[in-house]
């Protein structure tokens, strides 16, 4: 996956685009994560990115980049369909990694703490706090 394509995917978008992406991510993130968790090695970063994107203290541009990356993650069909086990998530890994580099320093300890709590709850069979 080339940088130009990732750059296009990660455009923050205008307020309407961000609102649409946020609704999609809120509705589909946790079910997708639950289905994919065994196949993705970056769950903690992904969940921390989710909490950062939903945090009203996160700058708008950063939220936009994260929402774009998370929206790509939840898409049922992307460049490499996720049904192809580990290989299917390589494009998702690339997009998430690029987003994390772009917004480096904005995912705070509180986001990772929330991710750790959510992943522990999911492991215990409880629904994660959204």
Each residue's pLDDT, cut to its tens digit, for the chain (130 residues) gives 444 477 777 888 899 999 999 999 999 999 888 877 766 778 899 999 999 999 999 999 999 999 999 998 887 654 445 444 445 567 777 888 899 999 989 999 999 999 999 998 877 766 565 5
pLDDT of residue 107: 96
pLDDT of residue 83: 45
pLDDT of residue 42: 82
**Domain that residue 22 falls in:** 3-123
pLDDT of residue 22: 94
pLDDT of residue 76: 62
Q: Is residue 95 part of a domain?
A: yes
Q: Is residue 50 part of a domain?
A: yes
Q: Which residues are CB-neighbours of 27 under 8 A, at least 6 positions away?
A: none
Q: Is residue 130 part of a domain?
A: no
Q: Is residue 91 part of a domain?
A: yes
pLDDT of residue 74: 87
Q: Is residue 128 part of a domain?
A: no
Number of domains in the chain: 1
pLDDT of residue 89: 64
Count Cα atoms within 13 angstroms, Cβ side, for 102.
25
- As a whole number of angstroms, the distance between CA 79 and CA 1 comes to 9
pLDDT of residue 111: 97
Take residue 25 and report the two structure tokens written for it: 């991510």
């Amino acid at each position: 996956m080339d940088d130009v394509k990732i750059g296009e995917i990660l455009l923050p978008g205008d307020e309407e685009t961000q609102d649409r992406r946020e609704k999609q991510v809120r509705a589909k993130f946790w079910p997708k994560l639950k289905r994919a968790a065994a196949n993705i090695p970056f769950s903690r970063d992904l969940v921390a990115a989710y909490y950062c994107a939903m945090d009203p203290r996160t700058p708008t541009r950063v939220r936009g980049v994260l929402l774009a990356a998370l929206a790509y993650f939840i898409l049922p069909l992307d460049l490499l369909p996720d049904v192809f086990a580990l290989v299917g998530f390589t494009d998702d890994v690339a997009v998430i990694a690029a987003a994390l580099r772009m917004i480096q320093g904005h995912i705070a300890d509180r986001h990772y703490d929330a991710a750790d709590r959510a992943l522990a709850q999911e492991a215990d069979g409880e629904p994660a706090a959204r």
